[in-house]
Amino acid sequence: MNTYGLGGKVAVITGGASGIGRACAHTLARSGADISIWDLDRGGLDLVIKELEDYDYRVHSAVVDVSDSAVVDAAMQDVLDTLGHVDIAVCNAGIGGAAASSADYTDEQWRQVTGVNLDGVFFTQRAAIRAMRHGGRGGSIINMASVLGSVGFASASAYTAAKHGVVGLTQVAAWECAADQIRINAVGPGFIRTPLLDDNLDQETLDVLAGQHALQRLGEAAEVAELVAWLASDGASFATGTFYPIDGGYLAR
Ligand code: NAP
């Protein structure tokens, strides 16, 4: 259990009530950061805040739909008003979406997935860049892509396209923001045991997916949070514009 020396920093985490976002809240708070967690799920946010009550940190939370840019901008302003500045943004909120072939994917299914997984990351990243520039302290933005930001997966066209898009928007913004000392990276988890997987897939499918990783298992959200916390830290001072898989060897085939 590493800590990453994040005392004095403020971190915004979207999708912070569950899975990888919740694990990031734990790891960043344990490393000393003040935390603002955003999610659709008010009850889930309250549970995470209760889990973190032993840490010596300040907390802010907000019910935010990341696919609504006005709501995202208002929430970022509320973080500035409450916690003073923003140093870290983990643009993590995402959904799995429908499983259907590219020929059968409906407009509504496409827009639902890309609205959260692509638009939502772009809107949160944009609000974070503006907040970090205003603060003049630099910062680190970590965008949650997936191994499917690098390769395809049948029946997941919108998800795969959105995650490839997340890698692209990360690379562009990293160049645009380097002079402001704002580093921007994308993380590419393999298949991770979270409600996103557990609620949608049966055990047989989970076992098949586990076998597609060199380590022959699914990942844990806390393992992804370790990479996120490193990218957030000053130890990652030369890391920007890069896609970092954390995938148990999934992409190494
Ligand atoms: P999760 O356990 O379902 O957590 C995602 C959280 O985001 C949920 O609390 C969800 O709320 C929230 N959320 C959904 N739509 C939102 C919106 N429009 N605005 C704000 N919050 C929203 O999923 P996870 O597995 O931790 O996934 C987190 C991220 O990692 C996603 O971007 C996902 O694509 C990515 N990822 C996951 C895996 C994996 O295998 N689990 C692998 C690669 C990448 P509700 O529960 O109320 O919908």
Torsion sign across C-alpha atoms 119, 72, 5, 238: positive
pLDDT tier for residue 200 given thresholds of 50, 70 and 90: confident
pTM: 0.99
DSSP string, 128-189: HHHHHHHHTS-EEEEEE--GGGTS--TTBHHHHHHHHHHHHHHHHHHHHHGGGTEEEEEEEE
Q: 216-248 pLDDT, tens per residue?
A: 999 999 999 999 999 999 999 999 999 999 999
Using an 8 Å Cβ cutoff, are 182 and 141 in contact?
yes
Position 121 scores a pLDDT of 99
pLDDT-derived band at 1 (thresholds 50, 70, 90) equals: low
pLDDT digits (tens, 9 = 90+) for 163-194: 999 999 999 999 999 999 999 999 999 999 99
Ligand 1 atom closest to residue 221's alpha carbon, by position in its atom list: 26
What are the residue boundaries of the structural domains of the chain, listed by start?
Answer: 10-245
* Ligand 1 centroid to residue 38 C-alpha, Å: 11
DSSP state for residue 98 in the 8-state scheme: -
Fold of 10-245: Rossmann fold (3.40.50)
Whether 159 is catalytic: yes
* Residue 6 CB less than 6 A away from ligand 1: no
Which residue's alpha carbon is at the smallest distance from atom 7 of ligand 1?
15
8 Å CB contact between 59 and 52 = yes
